[in-house]
Amino acid sequence: MIDFQKKQSAGHMTSRAARLFARVIERKLKLIGMAPGQLPVFYELANGAQLTQKALTIAAAVEQPTMAATLARMERDGLVSRQPDPSDGRSSLFGLTPAALQQSPLIKEAIHAGNREALAGFSAEEERALLAMLSRIIANLDSKTTTPNSG
């Protein structure tokens, strides 16, 4: 019999933490009528950027049909608008609507509240160290994986 030590597995612990983070943030976002799957779009477009569906798909590291469905829901709900891409007539550029931009402070607070809940008792130095380590993990794994849309 193999003895799995799940608390000694970085993969298991990271995955478990990510699922719990997602639940906490999902609960907080639900109160303002938003889904966690929409966060990558908000992150990419929050500063007034306009991006193609393909660029958003790559940035969010999701499959193209997933992003298409997310953007369709967000467009239906008045959170994103689409306009023709002047550099490529076959694609569209997506941007946040004024209504979505008005929600930005609520979304930001929901994310911060989830982070505060998860990192309760951590010092500022511990938070910085955790973020630095997670960034290294992401860089290590990102360089070894490709999605169908990234290359």
Q: What is the CATH number of the domain that holds 52?
A: 1.10.10.10
In a domain? residue 94: yes
The answer as to whether 17 is a domain residue is no
Q: Band the pLDDT of 2: cuts 50, 70, 90.
A: low
> How many angstroms separate the CA atoms of 40 and 44, rounded?
6
CA angle 119, 70, 148 (to 5 degrees): 90
Please tell me the predicted confidence (pLDDT) of residue 142.
82
Does residue 106 sit within a domain? yes
pLDDT tens digits, 26-41: 999 998 888 888 999 9
Q: Where does residue 87 fall: left (phi above 0), alpha (psi -120 to 50 degrees), or beta otherwise?
A: alpha
For residue 60, the model assigns a pLDDT of 92
Q: Is residue 122 part of a domain?
A: yes
The torsion angles phi and psi of 61, rounded to 5 degrees, stand at 55, 50
Six-digit token string for 136: 């290294």
7 part of a folded domain: no
Instruction: Find tokens 């799957």 and name the residue.
Output: 37
Flag whether 16 is in a domain: no
The answer to whether residue 6 is domain-embedded is no
Kindly tell me if the per-residue pLDDT of 100 is higher than 70: yes
Confidence (pTM) = 0.76
Higher pLDDT, 145 or 83: 83
| Better pLDDT: 48 or 5 | 48
Q: Specify if 23 maps to a domain.
A: no
Q: What is the mean pLDDT of residues 47-62?
A: 93
Q: Is residue 87's pLDDT more than 70?
A: yes
Count of the separate structural domains present in the chain: 1
**What pLDDT is recorded for position 145?**
67
pLDDT tens digit sequence for 101-127: 998 899 999 999 999 999 999 999 999
Q: Print the domain residue range for 80.
A: 28-141
